[in-house]
Structure 1
Amino acid sequence: MPNMMEVPIPVRFFFILLGPINSDLDYHEIGRSVSTLMSNTSFHTAAYKAEDRRDLLRAINEFLDDSIVLPPGDWDRKSLLPVDDIKKKYDDIRKRKMSKKKTTLSLEEKLPQYEPLQRSGRLFGGLVSDVKHRLPWYLSDFRDALNGQCLATAIFIYFAALSGAVTFGGLLGDKTSNLIGVSETLVATCATGVLFSLLSGQPLVIIGVTGPVLLFDELLYAFCKENDIEFLAIRVWIGMWIAVLATLVVAFEGSALVRFFTRFTQEIFASLISLLYIYESFYKLYMIFVTHPLLSGNAYCDNSTSDFTGANYSLANYSFSNWTMEDDFILDVPPMRQPNTALLSLILMFSTFFLADFLRKFRNSSFLGRNARRALGDFGIPIAIILVVTVDFFIPNTYSQKLQVPNGLSTSNETRGWIISPVSSTHPFVWWHIFVAAIGALLVFILMFLEIEICELILSKKERKLQKGSGFHLDLLLICYMELGCAFIGAPWMCAATVRSVSHLASLTVMSRTHAPGESPHIIGVKEQRVTNLLVSLLVGLSVFMSPLLREVPVAVLFGVFLYMGITSMIGIQLFERIILFFKPTKHFPSVPYAQKVKATKMHLYTVIQVVCLILLWAVKSSSLALAFPFVLLLMIPLRLQLKYLFTEKELECLDGDDGGLQSDEEDDPDFYQQTILPS
């Protein structure tokens, strides 16, 4: 090709561009772009050494990373002068990132290989491994919190933790004749949260009261009342046995057994708790209708005097605060048969539920900006509580039962103090109660083990990109020893709150912002630190002094929160999705592995087995053997192991396996309940 060049030079590369004659593209500009590439020394060298197409593409990407692209237009010299400064700053940022990455990699190389659920064969081997892996990160756990995202997260989680503490504390006071109430719940949440944030292996876990341990305390109180045993004293012995059991389990690396708690068992347990939330909400509302029935006007007039002053009235499991008609007229018992009370309670309960649920769905709507929607969705429950309590405040002429919260650091029940003796002051000490407490400790330990370890598993998924490890052994031991302290002050059992913990993690997650249009953002990392958990715990503790405000919260609002927790927690439970598929033809099944890769008959058989187990658990919980329901839950593990004779390994993998990676779409943020199984 002698006529192509003005001077005879060797030709190494040919660039052939093919395109339509009539096109809006400027082929000349494309040629200039290729010339610019070839004039770059680094690209020119890489092109000479390239062996295939991928080498050229890699060289082009490196060139673009080092280039600043200006849009077409007229540029004068003064406008282009800052370009060098911008490029210099960009290079400095890249160097800092690379340096930080190298520091992190070198730190990780110095740390021993860490598999938290792999047995070491040594006594307390898992605990030692947790401490060794987490200790080098301790100082960075405080340095990494110096940013605005952590402060915003602390405020968000505070409202979530406060809502949970008030809700569970109010219901617990209702179940235990106020022996354990809101005050004890707030104090315990603060104290255990501070200790956990400073000493735990996974400080992203939020500690609080959860549904399963609340259910156990309800059943234990009924058992003690029936057998004339002092409730708070026996809990101290239970706390001691919990610490002993935790020590034995951690010593022999029992946390590795969490692998046997597969989705089969988790979903049955979670379904029971969800249904109990819903049942309790409607049952409490029903009791209000029994106490304050809808009567005609004449009936109210005929019965108001006798019922209104009935000093002998008592409603099972209810503890009311004194209420005042006028300044000089105070009753020690709640009024009965009040007009509009039942109707108002119905409105308050469902208003709380629908407002919280609306704000949860609003999170993924098309209104407002993404950050505003996320804020409203994240603060859904606190916003719903505040709005509904405000409405109730402006209806002073209609009676509604309120939370009973003492002033300051007073106990919820005046008959008890802040220190509980293991030897009853009102009942004779019986030595065999100590061994009865051991059985109770084993039962509640099963629930705690399940909640703590499953929460740790959810947070430690690889796709969440946590770098500082977890605390399967350390956190279990720490929480169980804190239960002993809770028992001595007559506070509720504290446990890992899964939904609140996932909310905490999601708020601290840093997502990519430079992805291409249509491409889902990916997780860059998580701001792993201890300060947000510490701040949340301290703020919850200070909330004890908000008792005048807490006394304005109607209990019907708490029933609405429980209804919300019960219904929304079903979102993340695959069992309920498969129950719905009973009533759908196969052509309308969703594109998920358990529906597409498993025969419909096999899938329905698996669902029926889970439903039968759920009914069995509910029957045990409702019988005189209610305290034994954790044992029945434990029997689900060998039952699951026997399913291999009914289903193939591939079918069980689809039905009982994990859902896969986290989906994080820009337009549709995953709901926290979708990311968890346990509704706590």
Structure 2
Amino acid sequence: MEKIRSPFRGIIEDLKGRSACYKQDWVNGFHSGYRILAPTTYIFFASALPVIAFGEQLSRDTDGSLSPVESLASTAICGIIHSILGGQPLLIFVVAEPTIIMYTYLYNFCKKRPELGKKLYLAWAAWVCMWTAFLLIILAIFNACTIISRFTRIAGELFGMLITVLFIQEAIKGVVSSKFPKTRKARSWRYGTGWFRSFIAEYGVPLMVLCWTALSYTIPSKVNSGIPRRLFCPLLWEPESLPHWTVIKDMGKVPIVYIFAAIIPALMIAGLYFFDHNVASQLTQQKEFNLKNPSAYHYDVLLLGVMQIPGLNNSFQSWFQTLICGLLGLPPSNGILPQSPMHTKSLSVLKTQMIRKKMVKRAKESMLQHASNSEIFGRMQAIFLEMDRSSPRAVDNELRNLKEAVMKSDGADDAKENFDPEKDIAPYLTVRVNEQRVSNLLQSLLVGISMCALPVIKMVPTSVLWGYFAYMAIDSLPGNQFWERVFEGDHASFMESVPFKSILIFTAIQFGYLIICFGVTWIPIAGILFPLPFFLLIAIREHIFPKLFHPEHLQELDAAEYEEISGTPR
């Protein structure tokens, strides 16, 4: 209540925290050099391919009123704005499935009303965006994002699993079956040279998209030309794509009653975006990633609202932000799952690789110079301090096990023989994320450029897109404790302190709730209200779970892992 009575407080705190590390966000990106291209390419495909698929779905459902062109444009523009002005630059903005469902509902509503019809569909949708933006800005001003701290591990895991199930559902709808090689683990393969394994691990996914697209053109000529089915979308310069860009001129033609009626769908969209965007941000910054920079929930929701206002022209945004939504007739984008946490994971691989590589190099140099054990460790520690910018005390604690590995033998010669920098450093390094803005900016620019490459994109078989949906779903599962608790052999430390019966009951409840949430998405029209069960979960977690589980066991199973990260500006 105190924060509600202090409007703008959350936004001001977010701006202070993020402005202190804004310069470092760019420095970190440029210091990565060419290595930043691997996570950039990875997340570009993770953004562009689903957006194209959703855009084609939207084109079918709206009789061509919208197409992949508009979806790509929205994703690119919102992504560029957020990567430059956003609070949490690791968030990936994409036109997502809930937006497609909502815009389809708006189109069907307009079709049934002669006063609107297909002609004023986008104009009325622009008014919906106006009201949505107003509601999101109000939520940001009055610090509504504080409720996100009430979501514990179970909520984050359930939402992540729900998105995974929805992605697999879309993949199954498109193709009967697909097989995906685990190229992300290629670095541990026993065959091939080091550079080859790294190349496959970093660029395997885009290579497979290109390879399967090329193979689709080797089909014998006797096969029907419609097999495999390929993307259908108008090109950027074709007449079908032109009317959308100036839809703001039609907003005044919408009857006044429908302008105010637009508040109703706006309430649903605002609630959906508020939840989806914040949970995506929360999972992008989860504790396991060890992020150093502070969060910016309130400011990001404010920016999300501002980016949806058609034709707004004030101090909050420059001219290009006036193009979002209404003025260009674009479906809105927001921070989503699973792309946002996937982005953080890819950057954690990059940062850890960079630290490990330099530490290995320094250790080998020290061993050639016949340095003592303590000197070898001291030089590696100096490299870690230089690259991580943590406090010396924190680094001492973190590298304690590595120090023991280096110093494990009293005989200096034996220690050097037993300690292999290539193999023995990596296991002792915790996750480190290269927190920067460059990869998000580059991938957003690539999405924008892809609008001009539609003649090439139209060559991709739709089955490849749906296969990629399944790959994204599977690739997002590692790290989800619910998934690992059910299917994996390696479990967390709670297995030793929590009775198996409690773990079984907790997992069964979680699984049952997942089925309920998935069932809600199948309800016609009301399916867009699927975030409601997650808000209800707050009350269940606080009032019912404590009666079912011992407090210590509940803390182990469902600790508040995803609270806002206070961080320390660097």
Contact 2:137 2:301 in 1 (8 A): no
Report the residue type matching 2:513 in the other structure: C
AA paired with 1:420?
V
Structure 1 counterpart of 2:161, which letter? S
Is residue 267 from structure 1 mapped to residue 157 from structure 2 by the alignment? yes
Moved >6 Å (runs of 4+): 226-229
Residues 67 and 233, structure 2, Cα contact 8 Å, conserved in 1: yes
Query: Match of 1:648?
Result: 550
Cα deviation, 1:93-129, whole Å, max 9, x if unaligned, reads xxxxxxxxxxxxxxxxxxxxxxxxx959632111112
User: For 2:236, which of 403, 408, 412 is the aligned residue?
Assistant: 408
Q: Deviations over 1:629-680 (max 9, x none)?
A: 33343222222222222112222222223679xxxxxxxxxxxxxxxxxxxx
Map of 1:389 onto structure 2:
213
- 8 A contact 1:208–1:495 mirrored in 2: yes
**Could you say which residue in structure 1 is the equivalent of 2:142?**
252
- Work out whether residues 183 and 200 of structure 2, in 8 Å CA contact, stay in contact via their aligned partners in 1: yes
**1:184 shift after superposition:** 1.2
Bigger share in helix: 2
Asked if the contact 1:444–1:630 (Cα under 8 Å) also holds between the matched residues in 2, the reply is no
Q: Equivalent residue for 2:397?
A: none
Over 3 Å counting, the alpha-carbon distance change for 1:122 and 1:505 in structure 2 is: farther
- Answer yes or no: is 1:495 the counterpart of 2:323: no
- Percent identity over the alignment is 28
Matched, 1:196 2:97: no
Cα 1:592–1:215 shift into 2, 3 Å: farther
Q: Is the 8 A contact 2:133 2:304 kept in 1?
A: no
Query: In the superposition, relative to structure 1, how do residues 226 and 639 fare at CA in structure 2: closer, same or farther (>3 Å)?
Result: farther
What whole-Å deviation, never above 9, does each CA across 1:142-161 have from its counterpart, x for those lacking one?
44443313455444544443
Aligned to 2:502, the other structure's residue is in SS state: helix
Matching residue within 657, 661, 667 for 2:559: 657
Say which of 234, 244, 250 aligns to 1:417: 244
CA distance in 2, matches of 1:618, 1:219: 19
Deviation, 1:503, is 4.2
Task: Give 1:276 shift.
Answer: 2.2
Kept in 2, the 8 Å contact 1:232–1:487? The answer is: no
Greater relative contact order (Cα 8 A, min sep 6): structure 1 or 2?
A: 2
Within the candidate set 444, 447, 453, 1:540 is matched to: 447
Q: Distance in 1 between matches of 2:306 and 2:257?
A: 23
Q: Deviations over 1:371-410 (max 9, x none)?
A: 5434323333322211111111222543222111322345
CA displacement, residues 197-247 of structure 1 (integer Å, 9 cap, x when unaligned) = 221122232222334444544555566667787553443222112211222
1:546 CA drift (Å)? 0.9
Matches within 5 A, 1:423-434: 429=254, 431-434=256-259
Instruction: Say if 2:511 is the partner of 1:616.
Output: no
1:22 equivalent in structure 2: none
State the Cα distance separating 1:131 from its structure 2 match: 1.6
Using the size of structure 2 for normalisation, the TM-score is 0.72
Structure 1 residue 505 corresponds to structure 2 residue 347: yes
Contact 2:88–2:296 (8 Å) recurs in 1: yes
Structure 2: 5+ residue stretches without partners? 311-323, 361-401, 407-419, 563-570
Alpha-carbon distance in structure 2 between the residues aligned to 1:386 and 1:453: 34
Distance 1:225-1:607 versus aligned 2 partners, 3 A rule: farther
Instruction: Name the CA distance, whole Å, in 2 between partners of 1:218 and 1:357.
Output: 35
By how many angstroms is 1:533 displaced?
2.5
AA matched with 2:527: A
Name the SS of the counterpart of 2:30 in structure 1. coil
- The 1:594–1:465 alpha-carbon spacing in structure 2 relative to 1, beyond 3 Å, is closer
CA contact (8 A) 2:26 2:437 kept: yes
Seen in structure 2, the aligned counterparts of structure 1 residues 575 and 158 have a Cα distance that, compared at 3 Å, is: closer
Q: Which residue of 2 aligns with 1:341?
A: none
1:432 positional shift:
4.6
Aligned to 1:342: none
Find the residue that maps to 1:511 and give its secondary structure. Answer: helix
Q: Could you say which structure has the larger radius of gyration?
A: 1
- In structure 2, the residue matched to 1:283 is 173
**Is the counterpart of residue 635 in structure 1 residue 462 in structure 2?**
no
CA-CA distance at 1:504 after TM superposition: 5.1
Distance of 2:444 and 2:350 partners within structure 1: 17
Q: Which residue of the partner structure matches residue 125 of structure 2?
A: 235
Distance 1:569 1:220, change over 3 A: farther
Tell me the residue number matched to 1:4.
Answer: none
Indicate the SS of the match to 1:592: coil
Distance 2:443 2:531 in 1: 31
User: Which residue, out of 109, 124, 143, partners 2:8?
Assistant: 124
Q: Cα 1:654–1:409, aligned 2, differ >3 Å: closer, same or farther?
A: farther
Distance in 1 of aligned mates of 2:269 and 2:187: 36
Is 1:366 the counterpart of 2:190? The answer is yes
Q: Say whether the 8 Å CA contact 2:80–2:441 is kept in structure 1.
A: yes
2:265 aligned to 431, 436, 440, which one? 440
CA distance in 2, matches of 1:463, 1:579: 20
The answer as to 2:298 corresponding to 1:473 is yes
Equivalent pair of 2:167/2:470 in contact (CA under 8 Å): yes
Q: Distance in 2 between matches of 1:363 and 1:214?
A: 37
Q: How far apart are the structure 1 equivalents of 2:532 and 2:66?
A: 25
Is the contact made by 1:220 and 1:627 (CA closer than 8 Å) also made in structure 2? no
CA distance in 1 between partners of 2:494 and 2:431 (Å):
30
Distance 1:144 1:424, change over 3 A: closer
Three-state SS of the structure 1 residue aligned to 2:189 is coil
Structure 1 480/380 Cα, relative in aligned 2: closer, same or farther at 3 Å?
A: farther
Query: What SS does the corresponding residue of 1:387 show, helix, strand or coil?
Result: helix
Unaligned runs of 5+ in 1: 1-117, 286-345, 582-588, 661-680
Residues 560-581 of structure 1 deviation map (CA, whole Å, 9 limit, x = unaligned): 1122233443444333444559
Question: 1:531–1:578: structure 2 CA closer, same or farther, 3 Å change rule?
Answer: closer
